Amino acid sequence: MRTPLAWKNLTSSWNKCALASAGVCFAVVLMFMQIGFKNALIDSNVQIFTLFDVNRANISIISRSRYSMATEQRFPRLLLDRLAAQDFVTGSGSVSIERGTSKIQVLGFAAKPIRVVAFDLGAANLLRSPKLQKEFLVAHELDSGLVDSESKPSYGFSRDENELSKQQIELNGKLISAVGFFRLGTDFNSDGTILLSQAVHARHFPWRSPTRDPSDLVDIGFLSVATSRDQSLEEVAQQMQQIAGREAIVMPTEALIEREKAFWASATPIGKIFTIGTLMGLIVGAIICYQIQFTDIADHMSEFATLKAMGYSPGYFWRLVLSQSFYLAVLGFIPGIFVALGLYQVLAQYSGLIMMMTWQRVASVFILTLVMCSISGILAIRKLFSSDPASLF
């Protein structure tokens, strides 16, 4: 039975092992936080789509001039109605979004800009959550709205639903009531959101459209399309794009989400900054791991020299050091992910940003941690190979 020398060597001093693991843990947390902030930026800009069932709201329409969801270019409702009239369309809905022209004031608090999202009844039928759909319809019947539970406390919204309905609230100088909550989250442009029906929305934003009917312009249009074996969703979207012409972009909803994420990840400096931050975390961790493993090899050089003199091949030492790198990566990664999860929850609660720990992100950081520890082990092992066993005795 072979002695697990790599594990024995790493754990021969638990104090040193804990210190080494803490160094790797620091690098893991640093990478998780950089990736978390980057994806919070990206995810927050597509969070509106998380409210909808993308299997039913499977085709989206936006203005051709709308290069990102943060802008406010719109297209005519007549185009949405024309597309919804096609035989294979089983449902449609529209979404209106206001950012720069909306200001809300709760009695006793200062007026603040707020994001206003409005659905028509067709869009309400495409919502993912039956609970939200029911609450939206109640708010619509009461000529009221729903407040995002993640809105910043500085707005003054009560966290109690009964108290919220009694608060005196003005939206663009006109009274409005709020009868419940929904959950969306903030982004880098909005500290809060209020959800309205388009009938309520029209009273507060009459200037939105030259026709004086705010619902005549649409920010996002959704279509529920029934596909067949003979025609994929992408082919349906291309067919509808021909009808829309140059007035709007028609694409599968999931493709639009990926397009938006790609824009923020590659076409903006913020995405690049956080990518560089992740790489810096990798470099810092590699330096820490290199110092740990270099010191360990130096401290056990006489033992390694004995093994070399006994005829152990270079391949054995490669396996030894890389195994030790793997153990170090795992020992640092496990506490690192729990620390990062705790920080994600605190930051999400404090900032309202979407800080999600997905399996893909966990896997990517674990792979980066393995690479980091392996590279440092490869660099550290050079000292072992450059030494002469005879000179150590």
CA gap 38, 148 in Å, rounded: 23
Among 114, 119, 179, 173, which Cα is nearest to 144's?
Answer: 179
Average pLDDT of the chain to the nearest whole number: 85
Instruction: Concatenate the DSSP letters of all residues of 29-41 into one string.
Output: HHHHHHHHHHHHH
Residue 61 contacts by C-beta under 8 Å, 6 or more apart in sequence?
75, 79, 80, 83, 218, 220, 221, 222, 223, 244, 248, 249, 250
Report whether pLDDT(1) > 60.
no
Q: Given this model, what pLDDT does residue 317 score?
A: 75
Percent of the chain with pLDDT over 90: 38
Residue type, position 124, single letter: A
Q: Judge contact between 261 and 46, C-beta under 8 A.
A: yes
Q: What pLDDT shows up at residue 116?
A: 94
pLDDT at 19: 82
> Rounded to a whole number, what is the distance in angstroms from the first to the last CA of the chain?
29
In this prediction, what percent of the chain has a pLDDT beyond 70? Answer: 94
Catalogue the E-assigned strands of the chain.
Answer: 59-63, 75-76, 89-98, 103-106, 112-113, 115-119, 145-148, 169-171, 174-176, 178-182, 193-197, 217-218, 220-225, 248-252
Q: pLDDT band at residue 379, thresholds of 50, 70 and 90? A: confident
315-331 pLDDT tens trace: 777 888 888 888 888 99
Helix 314-351 × helix 269-299 angle, to 10°: 140
Note the pLDDT tens digit of each residue in 295-310. Answer: 777 777 777 767 777 7
Per the structure block, which two tokens stand in for 265? 């990840």
pLDDT of residue 133: 94
How many whole angstroms separate alpha carbon 62 and alpha carbon 64?
6
**Torsion (CA) 31, 35, 40, 41 in degrees, nearest 10:** 120
Quote the pLDDT of residue 22. Answer: 87
Local confidence band at 140 (pLDDT 50, 70, 90 cut-offs) = very high
Total-model pTM? 0.78
